[in-house]
A and B are shown apart, each in its own frame.
Chain A
Amino acid sequence: MATSTLTFVIVGQEDHPIYEVDLTGPKEQQTQYLHQFVLHASLDAVDEQMWLSKEPHLKVVDRFNGLNVTAFVTPGNTRFLMLHDGRSDDAIRAFFTEVYELYIRVMLNPFHSPTSRITSREFDRKVKLLAKRLIG
């Protein structure tokens, strides 16, 4: 049975995750650890690509065992990472753009500090809705 992979992580300026969600529903422990590991290991690859291009949307930056990592970098050096198994690049790009909008709103909240985890349930709900709508 093939389980699809779609994990989304927002990494803050100090390279710590401020938001993580598994968009295909809860997984078993082992897979979760693996996904986390792959995403954090890909941060180096994201850095390399960042130095090459000024575009916020970076395409696939890293591959592991059939899983791809696509990245988006904001001017404030926050990275959005998506771990997937070969989804459409355009869909992920559209998803990143919409999440960027939501992310700015969270950042503008005076009660939220830029380095703390995003705990807003609304944000979580909207991200999941967006993923369902745009990536399927």
Chain B
Amino acid sequence: MAGLPPVPSPGVVGKKPARRCAEVCLELLCAESVRLFHDKQSGPAAAAALEAVGYRVGQQLAERYTRDKPRLGDTLEIIKFVCKDFWQALFKKQVDNLKTNHRGVYVLQDNGFRWLQRLSPPGPGADPGREEAARQLALSYLHLPAGIVRGALCHLGVTCTVEADPKQMPSCTFTIRIMA
């Protein structure tokens, strides 16, 4: 992912500095991919396509970021890994709040989701129409990260669905429902 230090390879010391990439490239890529998919297909199809792309990326990223870590045991540990290490690597911060109803539903809350930072929230006192439109727009940007989270979880053995909800931009929640 752009702007992140590459995973250090063991035994390589004192070589030339690792190549880095400006983070704005990632932001532009995300914005453009959302626009591209919504141009080519309408509504739910575009959302599903973006989510599928995120799914593959999530699987591969999970493989990469669990590299030298000990194997994770149960579902809660896997979700904690996603909230801490995975989120840190992807979004440079950890998830702010994790709630569960102990019946297979987990809610991850991120106050200040990095990929929504560039979307301006509707001003205070804006009418509900504007707010709804802003929310829909933010939702279209959240399909990709929701797919990434689902891909990572499924690759690590937790079959689930992930739903993203932009509550108060730029904070948003991801609801993970474990499928029995």
A-side residues, CB < 8 A to B, are: 13, 50, 54-56, 73-77, 100-101, 104, 107-108, 110, 113-114
Question: Given the known A-B contacts A77-B157, A101-B9, are A110 and B56 also in contact in the complex, defined by CB atoms under 8 Å?
Answer: yes
Other-chain residue from A50, A101, A114 in contact with B155 (beta carbon distance below 8 A) = A114
Chain A residue with Cβ nearest B73: A54
Is B156 in contact with chain A by the CB < 8 A criterion?
Answer: yes
Query: Which residues of chain A come closer than 8 Å to B67, judged between CB atoms?
Result: 75, 100, 104
A107, B60: Cβ atoms under 8 Å?
yes
Closest-CB distance, B137 to chain A (whole angstroms): 28
What's the nearest-Cβ distance from chain B to residue A11, in Å? 15
Is the C-beta of B63 less than 8 angstroms from some C-beta in chain A? yes
**Contact residue among B60, B71, B157 (Cβ-Cβ distance under 8 Å from A54):** B71
Would A56 and B63 count as touching, CB distance under 8 A?
no
29 contacts between A and B (CB under 8 A): A54-B70, A54-B71, A54-B73, A55-B71, A56-B70, A56-B71, A73-B71, A75-B63, A75-B71, A75-B72, A76-B59, A76-B63, A76-B66, A76-B156, A76-B157, A77-B156, A77-B157, A104-B64, A107-B59, A107-B60, A107-B63, A107-B64, A108-B60, A108-B64, A110-B56, A114-B59, A114-B60, A114-B63, A114-B155
What residues on A are CB-neighbors of B155 within 8 Å? 13, 76, 114
B148 is an interface residue with CB less than 8 A from chain A: no
Min Cβ gap B50→A in Å is: 15
Shortest distance between the CB of A88 and any CB in chain B (Å):
20
CB-CB under 8 A from A107, the residues of chain B are 59-60, 63-64
Q: How far is the CB of B64 from chain A (nearest CB, A)?
A: 6
Tell me the complex Cα distance, A125–B59, Å: 26
Q: CB-CB < 8 A to A76: which residues of B? A: 59, 62-63, 66, 155-157
Q: Does B19 contact A (CB under 8 A)?
A: no
B residues touching A (Cβ–Cβ < 8 Å)?
9, 56, 59-60, 62-64, 66-67, 69-73, 155-157
Query: Which 5 A/B pairs are nearest by Cβ-Cβ distance?
Result: A75-B66, A107-B63, A54-B70, A54-B71, A76-B155
User: In the complex, what's the smallest C-beta–C-beta distance from B7 to chain A, in angstroms?
Assistant: 9
Rounded to whole angstroms, the CA-CA distance of A110 and B62 in the bound complex is 14
In angstroms, how far is the closest chain A Cβ from the Cβ of B86? 12
Distance to closest chain A CB from B155 (angstroms): 5
Report chain A residues within 8 Å CB of B62: 75-76
* Interchain CB contact under 8 A, A108 and B63: yes
Min CB–CB distance A26 → chain B (angstroms):
31
Give the CA-CA distance A130 to B64 in the complex, in Å: 21
**A55 to B59, alpha carbons, bound, how many Å?**
21
Contact residues in B for A74 (Cβ distance below 8 Å): 63, 66
Chain B nearest CB, measured from A122 CB (Å): 18
